[in-house]
Amino acid sequence: MQLDGIVLVEQQTDDYFPFSILHPQWELRTGFFQQWERIQNQFPNIPIHFLGRDDQSSLFFEKNANLTNQCIVKGTILFLDARFVPSIVFATDIEVILQKQSPSDITLVDKSANNVIGSIRQFESATELPTYSEISFENSSNKVSVTGVTIHYIWDAIYANSEIIQRDVLTLAPTTVTPQHLWQFGVFSYADGKPIHLGENVQLHATVVLDSRNGPIIIGNNVTIMAHSVIFGPCVVGENTVINSNTSITGGSTIGPNCRVRGEISVSIFQSFANKAHDGFLGHSFVSEFANLGAGTITSNLKNTYGNITIEFPKQRKIQTGKQFIGSIIGDHSKTAIGTTLNSGTVIGVLCTIAVAGFPPKYIENFSWILQETKERVILSKALSVMEHVKSRRNQPMFDSEHSILTKLYNDTNAD
């Protein structure tokens, strides 16, 4: 028995705020891959159907025009929680399960947390397949544990990222980089048996230090790392990214593709196309697409009391994270002015501008324009015009679905 299709399903999307406003959950980047890429790589010959919110799914396919949401007619179907990051042997585990059991009623459980993350079911026709509003994972008595990690909240990705990087490097084709090879170019590397994976056309300036003693370093194609920068593994630097001089990136960080960063970055994730081009500290944080941190922006990632961080979401919803270290979670196209300081556990929605001395509020709702003593809403037409200009500088178009999502959200928020 073999799989005939995979259905990747969004679950509890409000818990991914503000990332979930413009992204389906399967687009979240951890380690070297977005979630959908990781599933596709493990099951290269199995059709994948993406089942999620209509607007965010439409935007995803606009951005990834080479993908199609494949139609699955019938057969043995794996329904998988889009928040679940599987181990590198997940495909083998599924194959073994199907060899041993009938696929009519199998519930998959995350071995590390004992939560249901999917099911394998048999369908005779496409008319039986559930829609997004109908989907629920079968919680049968026939439970099988699989290895991986479930990203319930964005900060879970931050905390799991180190382990995920160490898995991802094992799925990449090995490179022949050795310390001796790098030293001849004035690059210092400390490997101690941990891999340093270099993509094509990587430019490492003299005096760069790559320290993979605590975990692998993965550097994608067309990356530039400028002089006097130090990269500690486990770490990922995505393709076409520029690491400006005098940068320190500590283990557990992913700098996604097409980013520009500088300063001190610790245990943080940049989705892609984000800027932190100047000095300043960013720790235990998540930065979404086209966000821009002004010069000297500093995040706190630890309370003075050393207590656990509480996160506030929309509608005054507060989450006790149980985590001691969380910096900021920053939404798409939000910006901080020079010298901005962000408190531990700060959440910034989409299309916000922060320009205050001292700490702004820990929860900043979408479309906020926060000046020294005032808080206003952005004028949407101006904000969208700036957004289009920012994207054009990176040769990225403004997508119809993007415009539609933000306009609807702005109007709905205004009505509230």
Q: Residues 335, 295: contact at Cβ < 8 Å?
A: no
In a domain, 119, yes or no: yes
**Percentage of the chain lying above the pLDDT 70 cut:** 94
Rg from Cα positions in the chain: 22
In a domain, 163, yes or no: no
Backbone angles phi, psi at 308, to 5 degrees: -75, 155
Backbone angles phi, psi at 78, to 5 degrees: -95, 115
pLDDT in tens, 43-75: 999 999 999 999 999 999 999 999 988 887 788
Confidence of residue 174 (pLDDT cuts 50, 70, 90): confident
In a domain, 66, yes or no: yes
Q: Give the domain CATH number at 376.
A: 2.160.10.10
Q: Residues 249, 265: contact at Cβ < 8 Å?
A: yes
Average pLDDT score, the chain: 92
Average pLDDT of 190-204?
A: 86
DSSP 100: H
How many C-beta atoms lie closer than 10 Å to residue 329's C-beta? 26
pTM of the model: 0.95
pLDDT in tens, 370-413: 987 788 999 999 999 999 999 999 999 999 999 999 999 999 98
Q: Residues 323, 340: contact at Cβ < 8 Å?
A: no
With a cut of 90, say whether residue 175 has pLDDT above it.
Answer: no
Cα 311 from Cα 262, distance rounded (Å): 27
Same domain as 148, residue 177:
no
Same domain as 288, residue 218:
yes
Angle, helices 400-415 vs 54-63, to 10°: value is 150
pLDDT in tens, 79-107: 999 999 999 999 999 999 998 887 777 89
In a domain, 411, yes or no: no
Same domain as 350, residue 236:
yes
Q: Give the domain CATH number at 20.
A: 3.90.550.10
In a domain, 308, yes or no: yes
In a domain, 409, yes or no: no
Cα 267 from Cα 348, distance rounded (Å): 19
Q: Residues 6, 49: contact at Cβ < 8 Å?
A: yes
Q: Specify the number of domains making up the chain.
A: 2
Q: Final residue of a domain: which of 128, 152, 176?
A: 152
Domain assignment of residue 37, given as a range = 5-152
**Percentage of the chain lying above the pLDDT 90 cut:** 78
In a domain, 210, yes or no: yes
With a cut of 70, say whether residue 128 has pLDDT above it.
Answer: no
Same domain as 332, residue 210:
yes
Cα 81 from Cα 9, distance rounded (Å): 5
Same domain as 357, residue 227:
yes
With a cut of 60, say whether residue 416 has pLDDT above it.
Answer: no
Same domain as 141, residue 255:
no
* Long-range contacts (CB closer than 8 Å, 24 or more residues apart) made by 238-243: 238/32, 238/272, 239/199
* Residue 141 confidence (pLDDT): 74
* Residue 181 confidence (pLDDT): 63
Same domain as 362, residue 222:
yes
Same domain as 173, residue 145:
no
